[in-house]
């Protein structure tokens, strides 16, 4: 996929992260401030998550993913003041089948304003423009906020994968929703 490093929406700039200690601190601070709401849904979001973990994520996941074209992460910032809101990314890129999955999270003080729906729509537009036929969102079936993002962005619930993943947080198997949008549905 030939994906732009910067995507703009009405209110946001989605940009490829540039590895720096400043950005690592900014993201780490947001994760820690929102940990109570993130840790149930994101396996990496734990009280033991360190600044070094964030630097490692930026270098070994984000930067490496862009260089190898295996995943494309974006920092979500407001256009008005450049405030950091969260991260959204293309994961599980499948060139042969022209599909990708979108993953995302927002810090607590940005939730409830339609921000993630707008970011998802901006990212999917770039995916379809790059030749994707299908964009997917997967989420824990109990994660109502993530479910609402998929619904509000116009995704179709393809199905529920029962007991697909183990949750260390809940110490149980969890059901995963699989949502999709096709190029002709945008």
Residue carrying the six token digits 């920092």: 75
Residue 1: the pLDDT is 75
8-state DSSP, 17: P
Q: What pLDDT is stored for residue 56 in this prediction?
A: 95
Contact residues for 67 (Cβ-Cβ < 8 A; gap 6+): none
Predicted local distance difference test score (pLDDT) of residue 105: 97
Residue % of the chain over a pLDDT of 90: 97
Residues 6+ apart with CB under 8 A from 145: 111
Cβ contact 178:155 at 8 Å = no
Q: Is it the case that residue 70 has pLDDT exceeding 80?
A: yes
Asked if CATH classification 3.40.50.450 holds for the domain at 6-134, the reply, yes or no, is no
What is the percent of the chain where pLDDT is above 70?
A: 100
Domain ranges for the chain, please list them.
Answer: 6-134
The whole-angstrom separation of Cα 57 and Cα 66 is 12
Place 186 in a pLDDT band, splitting at 50, 70 and 90.
confident
Quick: pLDDT tens for 125-167: 999 999 999 999 999 999 999 999 999 999 999 999 999 999 9
Residue-wise pLDDT tens digits, 12-36: 999 999 999 999 999 999 999 999 9
Q: Kindly report the average pLDDT of the chain as a whole number.
A: 96
pLDDT in tens, 79-129: 999 999 999 999 989 999 999 999 999 999 999 999 999 999 999 999 999
């Amino acid at each position: 996929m030939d994906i732009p490093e910067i995507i703009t929406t009405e209110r946001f700039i989605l940009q490829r992260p540039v590895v720096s200690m400043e950005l690592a601190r900014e993201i780490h601070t947001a994760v820690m401030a929102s940990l109570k709401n993130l840790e149930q849904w994101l396996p990496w979001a734990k009280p033991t998550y360190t600044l070094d973990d964030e630097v490692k994520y930026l270098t070994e996941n984000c930067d490496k993913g862009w260089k190898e074209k295996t995943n494309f992460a974006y920092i979500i910032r407001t256009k008005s003041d450049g405030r950091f809101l969260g991260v959204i990314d293309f994961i599980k890129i499948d060139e042969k089948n022209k599909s990708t999955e979108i993953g995302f999270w927002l810090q607590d003080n940005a939730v409830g304003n339609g921000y993630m729906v707008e970011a998802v729509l901006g990212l999917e537009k770039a995916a379809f423009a790059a030749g994707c036929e299908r964009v997917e969102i997967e989420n824990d079936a109990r994660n109502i906020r993530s479910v609402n993002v998929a619904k509000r962005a116009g995704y179709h619930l393809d199905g529920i994968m029962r007991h697909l993943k183990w949750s260390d947080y809940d110490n149980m198997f969890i059901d995963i929703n699989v949502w999709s949008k096709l190029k002709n549905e945008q």
